[in-house]
């Protein structure tokens, strides 16, 4: 299966397309106790909190995959103007959203 083109730009050089509509991919991850303990220690001495970094990387990948699946279900060839948004929910969960505009190439 060919991976769908996903771009943060509005225009795809050399392509004309019709807009199919907005697409989203959402995931919410819970932090674990070990990461929370490590984060508490890092707050004292500084530095990267690798458990949280990994959690956000995984969340972004899942959100992108879900957005791509939604675009494919609409018959899209690509997603343009892709963006991420994220936020905390009740202090121990992180939500990540990938969103953009699904487009179909005009042959």
The dihedral over CA atoms of 86, 6, 103, 60, expressed in degrees to the nearest 10, equals -20
pLDDT at 107: 81
pLDDT of 34 > 60? The answer is no
Domain span at residue 50 reads 5-105
User: Residue 2's pLDDT band (boundaries 50, 70, 90)?
Assistant: low
Rounded mean pLDDT of the chain? 85
Is this structure's pTM higher than 0.85? no
Q: Is residue 45 classed exposed, middle or buried when 0-12, 13-18 and 19+ CB atoms within 10 A define those classes?
A: exposed
Among candidate residues 74, 107, 101, 99, the one with its CA nearest the CA of residue 11: 101
Domain total for the chain?
Answer: 1
C-alpha span between 67 and 98 (Å, rounded): 6
Which tens digits make up the pLDDT trace of 70-79?
A: 999 999 999 9
Q: What does the pLDDT read at residue 91?
A: 66
| Domain at 52, CATH number | 3.30.110.70
């Amino acid at each position: 299966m060919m991976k769908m083109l996903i771009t943060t730009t509005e225009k795809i050089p050399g392509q004309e397309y019709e807009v199919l509509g907005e697409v989203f991919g959402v995931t919410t991850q819970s932090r674990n106790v070990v990461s929370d303990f490590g984060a508490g220690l890092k707050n004292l001495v500084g530095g990267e909190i690798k458990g949280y970094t990994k959690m956000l990387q995984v969340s972004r990948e899942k959100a992108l995959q879900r957005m791509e699946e939604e675009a494919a279900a609409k018959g899209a060839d690509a997603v343009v103007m892709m963006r991420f948004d994220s936020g905390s929910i009740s202090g121990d969960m992180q939500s990540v959203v990938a969103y953009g505009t699904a487009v179909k190439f005009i042959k």
